[in-house]
Structure 1
């Protein structure tokens, strides 16, 4: 299994990031430009960010976890489609394909996170703390959430093609609802009651608590986040194990 996963990772590297010399560079530039645009735009409207004294840091702590979730969940969701030709071989299973995509893209997203956050710290030297254990916990939770949703969607996208379009429509407001532009505490109570159920918003809050000494993320429920990720993960594994051969024959 390790050799198969390693070979799939090399294939993923060649096809996803190796098509052009700027493939890896763009993976860093894309979120950096997004953070810069948001920081510039909101700095023209308000004098200070909702937390701290640096717009770049505030939006980085929101956009980077969100981008990590979106990238990982989308890549995992397309694992069977991406590797359908190789899955015809008995030595390659859907677990290998999913694990290869998850490992490579998780490492890439972590590298992007540390490059961008490190650059902001070195250049701007904002007032902050670095609770490494809490930041690592937030990153681990966002990756686990992406894995869980990605596993379930991997089955649903392959077995019910229409579901892909429905999922895309349903998740369009996710960027606005995930705490990238605001803090949970700044919302009116009615919105807090609804948006609390968004696990990405909770993980973003956990990330900001690990960066800002003045931020309190007591509303975060680790058990809820883990449960929210575990249910679709187990469901996705169950249905993929039962139907992935059927999916391959029908594709």
Structure 2
């Protein structure tokens, strides 16, 4: 009887802890919204407008080329499945480098951890990307320059994998940036240099060897192939290995959590 009561008590503690952390992350998301966008001008709408403007700008550059790389994919939809989703990766990684410094005072509160700060920022970027994809797809379909994702569930799986990989990497970058300012300076150019190998602007199915083999080792190419399968119903890739990229995500997450814990004791709150 005592053992059953003890298990019940542990379950209640776990549920209470999850409830508290959910409220903490929700509060951090609202704080991030106010800090980044404020209430002036269009306020929170920048959450959608910012990635949308970047995608529209890149799409206009390819307007005269017709179907992207002549594979029958409308340029608008290709850019949404590529560049818009790449913004998710880039934003999570770039914002991680200053996450501890800009939220140092919040760590006075025992309930708030570095993980919570990073996770709330990453969730906000994911929500921003999903909203931008929906809005941009509707706009592109209205001008006959693209269409809504034809297999949205597959696209969502690809986005979640990209989010997980980006978040795992962001924990390592946040911890490393606290130890060395050099990391913070290198992160931004590194994300731009990674664009050609990210898979955001390439199609594995049509890429010749050995370039396809080389690029397939970079985990984001797997995520973008899934995203593209979700965007285009007629596109099916023979070069997706979800177990490989999920393995990467798990390894990065474990290393990130260990690194954050090691760095936390060295973070000076004063």
Partner of residue 81 from structure 1, selected from 85, 89, 101: 101
Aligned residues: 249
Cα distance in 2 for partners of 1:165, 1:158 equals 12
Cα distance in 1 for partners of 2:201, 2:111 equals 46
Comparing 131-140 and 182-191, the one that deviates more: 182-191
Q: Answer yes or no: is the 8 Å Cα contact 2:96–2:170 preserved in 1.
A: yes
The answer to whether residue 56 in structure 2 is matched with residue 36 in structure 1 is yes
For residues 14-93 of structure 1, the aligned pairs below 5 Å read: 14-18=34-38, 20-44=40-64, 46-50=65-69, 51-93=71-113
Comparing 125-134 and 100-109, the one that deviates more: 125-134
The answer to whether residue 151 in structure 2 is matched with residue 131 in structure 1 is yes
TM-score by length of 1: 0.87
Return the index of the structure with the highest Cα Rg.
Answer: 2
Cα distance in 2 for partners of 1:181, 1:147 equals 22
Render the CA deviation track for 1:71-113: whole Å, top value 9, x for unaligned. 1233344332221011023332223322322333322222222
Q: Which runs of 5+ in 1 are unaligned?
A: none
Q: Which runs of 5+ in 2 are unaligned?
A: 1-20
Q: Answer yes or no: is the 8 Å Cα contact 2:178–2:263 preserved in 1.
A: no
Q: Answer yes or no: is the 8 Å Cα contact 2:137–2:149 preserved in 1.
A: no
Provide the alpha-carbon RMSD of the alignment.
2.4
Render the CA deviation track for 1:110-155: whole Å, top value 9, x for unaligned. 2222221232234427478611220111111111111111111111
TM-score by length of 2: 0.81
The answer to whether residue 183 in structure 2 is matched with residue 163 in structure 1 is yes
Q: Answer yes or no: is the 8 Å Cα contact 1:149–1:233 preserved in 2.
A: yes
Comparing 195-204 and 91-100, the one that deviates more: 91-100
Offset of residue 165 of structure 1: 2.3
